[in-house]
Every structure is written in structure tokens, then in C-alpha cells.
Amino acid sequence: MGLSLEKKLLNQIEKELKQKGLPIVKSGVKIGRSGPDLVGYTLNDEGNEEVQVVVEIKEKPNPSAQQQLMKYVQGIKAPYALLVFPDNQYWFDGNTFLPTDEPEFESKHLYLTKDDLIEKTAWEALEGIRGYLPSEQYGKVMAHTLLVRTYLSEHGDLDKWVKIEEFQQFKELLFEASKFYEIDIQQVNYDLQSEQLVTFLNKISVLPPVHSALRQIIMKCLEVNKPIIGQFNAPPHLRELYVGLVQQLDFKKDSVVDLASGYGSIAFDVIGANNIKRLIGFEIYQDTCTISKIMSIVSGINAFEVNCKDSIREDEELQANTFSLTLLDPPLGLKYNLPEELHINYKLAQKRVDASDLFIEKAITVTQPGGYIVMLVPESVLFSEKFSITRDFIKEKSIIETIVSLPTHTLKPYASVKVSVLVLRKKKEANESADEIFLARADSVEDFKEIVGGFSKWKKGGLPNG
């Protein structure tokens, strides 16, 4: 179904207003019980919106249109008003409401710059398609849309954005973008009618094509998904704990790997807080891997290289003694059917082995002697007789520097299993040992910051045994 005449006029006027120097053009702004068709804004030095014009669009002359427009101008205190018919446009001074020449506007910024405004606008855009798509699709829709926007911007073709009127046009641009960025998007399992699509894209148009806040938007959209085994975002407090512990370690900034990177939630935060130059991620689930690649692109993070592969399998990137820092947040409680030909690569291999065992062994194997492993493990790994061989392997190959016991609600709503974070340092010599270990127990996630502070002092020799 094509667009109505009024919707076409809306798109046309929005484009014209942006060409006149108004980067922010919104529909659906309420002034009292109703509102104008469009409101145009500039952005000041602080990145705040300043209203400049209210717009009414009519398919045919209406005697009351001018009077209604005047009420909107007075209600929002806009300097200008614009009345649009298919064949004519009329500009008015907002103070006198007398006809005036077409103004030109100057904005200090082309797009929203503040994280909170960017996020608020993105959610407003999603509200426009509520009821047309299930909430489980929000993350994918937002990721695909932002990828197209980044792609058009990189090619200097953002004018194509306001020309998208049909979902097929959007899909064609999405596939172009996926090919350009070498992302495996082969099909799109959602659809939007023209009116919903155009409304959604119009609202998204105020967002910057590349910005760190765009990743956070996608991440929050994904949080409405029903959790799938092995596919969930690490909670913010857990990410902060990883970041804090990693900040106390001495490692090469271009030699970092995440063996189960998921959506990249931990990897992205560690990169940002530690000035990582290169972090290689491995993620077995294709859709999850694709989304994490998109988040890297739209947020401008070039240090994160994601491989859509199973890190338990052999890979040329995963040679022994390769990485200075290894991150691990593995799927918990997952049994892994290890192929017979790979058993030779794992001392901890069994016919149907717990995935945690394989990830732990892999993490220690790929880390350089003297390098660090920061990983999440079920507390059963530390205390259960079932995992005694795993513990022996850890002690044989590494020095345990830290054990942080986490509260049971750390991973909620995804899991309620009791877990700990370990910091290991891979041995340089087989007989290497350590006299001390930093032990900590968090009764709540609010304790994480204090624990990181204690670990920092311990690393500097300021504390005895934790």
C-alpha cells in the first residue's frame, strides 16, 4: 500500500525543513489535546533542542487551519509557523502571525548528541510500531535500522533515508549494508506497512549515524527478549565487575580474546574502559553474533572483531599461548557433545562433558604464560567432587589470584545459579606458586565496587590475604 497524499507531504516538508537547517523534525508533538503535524528544532551548543517552527499540512484549503496553527505557535512559543497545501506554502512570523519570507536556520549540531535524548527518541520510535511487531523483534529491527543509517552516512547517501516509503526499499538497503560490512543477513523475518515504516524512520532520523549510545539502545531492546540458553546480556553490575577487575591487570591491549562473547556486552565495556586496541570475540549463535557485529559498527568501535564460530572447535586464531588476556562468561549448565576427533585436544574431555570444563581448559590453553584469565564459573566448579579434575587442571596450569563469590541473584532474571568470578594468571613455570590469594564474597551487587577497590590494593601489595 502506498503513502497517502498527506503522508507524502509530511515526508517532503520534513526533508525541506532539514535542508533549511533544522536537524530535528518531529511529528506527534502534543500542544494541549492536539498538536501540529510537524515541529522543527535546532540544537544549541549544549545539544538541547530549541523549537523554531510548527507546521500544519492540509490536502486542501481549510478556513480554520490558520487559526489552529496560530494556537499551536502560541502554545509552544515557536518563532515561525508554516501552513502547507499541495500547491502552496505560507510562512508566518510567530510573534505577529503576519506573513514573512522563508527563514534560514542555524543549528549547532546536526543530530542529537546527549545519550539520554538519543535513548528517549529511540524508544519513542519503537512506540510507533508497538502492536505491529512482537517485542521480541525490537532488538533486530533497531539493529537493522541503525545499520542502514550508518551505511548511508558512510557513503554520503543519507538523503536516501527520507525517500524510503516501502519495506522492500528498506530491505534492499539492509542487504547492501550487510554485504558492505560483511555481515551475514540473508533474510528478514518481520515486515512493516508503509505508514508504520515511514513514521519509524522519521523518528530515527534525528539519531546520529554513529554513536556509542546506539549500542546501548540495541542492548536494551534485546532485554525484552525471552532468554534463550546461551544467549543473554550480562547484567550491568556483572559487566562493571569484569571491567573493574580487568583494570587492575597488566596485559597487552592488542591481545585480548572473549571465548563466549554473546552480544558483546562484557567485551564492549572492557574495550571502552581499558583502551583495548584489539579484542577477538567468538560466538556460536549466528543471530547473536550478527547483532554484536552491528553494535560494533553503529557505535564506532573498531577494536571488537567478532567470529561467528564455536571457540571449543579448532581455529587458526585460537592457538595455544596466544593471548595476554582471556575473558570468559560461558553458558552455564550446558552439556556439550564433543566430537571424538576433538577429545585429544582436551584433558577434561568426556563423552558428554559440561561446557564449562571445555571453556575453562580452552581459556587457559590460549592464554600466554604470565597472561590473565577473567572468568565466571558455577560455584560447583570450586567445591563439587564432580569437578575435582577441573580444579586440579586449574591449579596445575595457573595461579589463582582472585575468587569473588557472587550473590545468587547476580544473573537474574536469566539464571539463579550461584557463581563466582575467578582471576587466574597462567604459570610461566610448572613449579610456580603463590603465597596469597584475594578472596571476597559479595552479599549484594552493591558490594562489587568495594571488592574491586580491595583487589586493587591487594595487587599493589597494600592488603594481606583477602
Q: Which residue has the higher pLDDT, 440 or 10?
A: 440
Contact 65, 83 (CB under 8 A): yes
Percent of the chain exceeding pLDDT 70 equals 93
Distance between CA atoms of residues 61 and 372, nearest Å = 72
> What integer pLDDT is reported at residue 398 of this predicted model?
96
Residue 228 has pLDDT above 70, yes or no: no
> What integer pLDDT is reported at residue 230 of this predicted model?
47
In this prediction the pTM is 0.85
Distance between CA atoms of residues 392 and 385, nearest Å = 11
Residue 14 has pLDDT above 80, yes or no: yes
Residue 424 has pLDDT above 90, yes or no: yes
Q: Dump pLDDT digits (tens) for 167-214.
A: 999 999 999 999 999 999 978 989 999 888 988 998 898 899 999 999
> What integer pLDDT is reported at residue 412 of this predicted model?
59
236-459: which CATH architecture? 3-Layer(aba) Sandwich (3.40)
Q: Which residue has the higher pLDDT, 446 or 15?
A: 446
Q: Evaluate whether 5-93 and 236-459 have a shared fold.
A: no
pLDDT category at 464 given cuts 50, 70, 90 is low
Residue 270 has pLDDT above 70, yes or no: yes
pLDDT category at 465 given cuts 50, 70, 90 is low
5-93: which CATH architecture? Alpha-Beta Complex (3.90)
Residue 453 has pLDDT above 70, yes or no: yes
pLDDT category at 9 given cuts 50, 70, 90 is confident
Distance between CA atoms of residues 432 and 178, nearest Å = 49
Q: What is the 3-state secondary structure (H, E, C) of the chain?
A: CCCCHHHHHHHHHHHHHHHCCCCEEECCCCECCECCCEEEEEECCCCCEEEEEEEEECCCCCCCHHHHHHHHHHHHCCCEEEEECCCCEEEEECCCCCECCCCCCCCCCCCCCCHHHHHHHHHHHHHCCECCECHHHHHHHHHHHHHHHHHHHHCCCHHHHHHCCCHHHHHHHHHHHHHHCCCCCCCCCCCCCHHHHHHHHHHHCCCCCCCHHHHHHHHHHHCCCCCECCECCCCHHHHHHHHHHHCCCCCCCCCEEECCCCCCHHHHHHHHHHCCCCEEEECCCHHHHHHHHHHHHHCCCCCEEEECCCCCCCCCCCCCCCEEEEEECCCCCCEECCCHHHHHHCCCCCCCEEHHHHHHHHHHHHEEEEEEEEEEEEHHHHHCHHHHHHHHHHHHHEEEEEEEECCCCCCCCCCCCCEEEEEEEECCCCCCCCCCCEEEECCCHHHHHHHHHHHHHHHCCCCCCC
Q: Dump pLDDT digits (tens) for 116-174.
A: 999 999 998 998 888 888 888 899 999 999 999 999 999 999 989 988 989 999 999 99
> What integer pLDDT is reported at residue 232 of this predicted model?
58
Percent of the chain exceeding pLDDT 90 equals 60
What does each C-alpha distance from 19 to 28, 39, 105, 145 come to in angstroms?
21, 15, 9, 22
> What integer pLDDT is reported at residue 163 of this predicted model?
86
- Mean pLDDT score, 69-85: 93
Distance between CA atoms of residues 289 and 439, nearest Å = 34
What does each C-alpha distance from 372 to 44, 268, 284, 326, 400 come to in angstroms?
46, 18, 23, 6, 10
Contact 280, 259 (CB under 8 A): no
Contact 93, 80 (CB under 8 A): yes
pLDDT category at 296 given cuts 50, 70, 90 is very high
Residue 226 has pLDDT above 60, yes or no: no
Residue 225 has pLDDT above 70, yes or no: no
- Mean pLDDT score, 291-297: 96
Residue 279 has pLDDT above 70, yes or no: yes
Contacts (Cβ under 8 Å, ≥6 apart) of 362 = 259, 311, 312, 318, 346
Q: Which residue has the higher pLDDT, 195 or 232?
A: 195
Q: Dump pLDDT digits (tens) for 398-422.
A: 999 999 999 886 665 555 678 999 9
Q: Which residue has the higher pLDDT, 334 or 163?
A: 163
Kindly list the domain boundaries of the chain, sorted by start residue.
5-93, 115-222, 236-459
